Amino acid sequence: MTTPAENNDALRAQVNITGRNVEVPDHFAERVKSKLAKIERLDPTLTFFHVELQHEPNPRREAQSDRIQITATGKGHIARAEAKEDSFYAALETALAKMERSLRKVKARRSISRSGHRAPVGAGEMAAELVAEAKKAQEKVGEFDVDPYADKVEDVTPGQVVRTKQHSATPVSVDDALSEMELVGHDFYLFLNEETGRPSVVYRRHAFDYGLIELVEEKQ
């Protein structure tokens, strides 16, 4: 179902809600839209939200059977968050929290970039929050022991490529690459460095630090 902006006073962006093997009740759709209004206030440039619900029956992982993915499209950028919980209501809250954290981090990073200072007012609070998130992530290490593609790939062999992605090779700055990484919720981001012209990767390190890897030609 697609909700145009003019049909929702609180939310100006369009919202598309789809269900894969699941019906989306009207009352749940209204809850989604009311929650997304808060996300829109964090980034007024967002113009479209796509929310996908999917039930993944798996007796071994009943606590993560309901999956929600939210993709937000804005002016020149995309934000994405995904969550799996024991209910769509819980998955919605988790996914929204992830997206809100990502948008707040990017907003703070852009504020730093505009001000020209390495740390804005309140950076200590932001650092403490990121450290807490890192500790929380470490507590969930066991959650990645199960292959997420086990039920999607037949005749799996070790080292098999199960997914391929391509994206634009438009050169961007390191700061913009870090912002894109936060928005899509990944731990790394591949890009062309506009300052050096080299293929590069930014990635998360411990706590709130980042790393940068660049490819260079080996001298003969």
Yes or no: say if 212 and 174 are a contact pair by the CB < 8 Å rule. Answer: yes
Angle between helices 174-184 and 88-115 (to 10 degrees): 170
H-helix or E-strand spanning residue 19: strand 14-20
Q: What is the pTM of this model?
A: 0.54
Q: Provide the β-strand partners of residue 66.
A: 55, 85
Q: What is the pLDDT of residue 12?
A: 86
User: Exposure pattern of 57-81 as b/e (b: 16+ CB <10 Å)?
Assistant: eeeeeeebbbbbbbbbbbeebebbb
Could you report the per-residue pLDDT of 127-184, keeping only the tens digit for each?
A: 555 555 555 545 544 444 444 444 544 454 555 676 777 777 788 888 888 877 877 7
Q: Which domains does the chain have, with CATH numbers?
A: 14-111 (3.30.160.100), 171-214 (3.30.505.50)
pLDDT: is 35 or 115 the higher one? 35
pLDDT higher than 70, residue 63: no
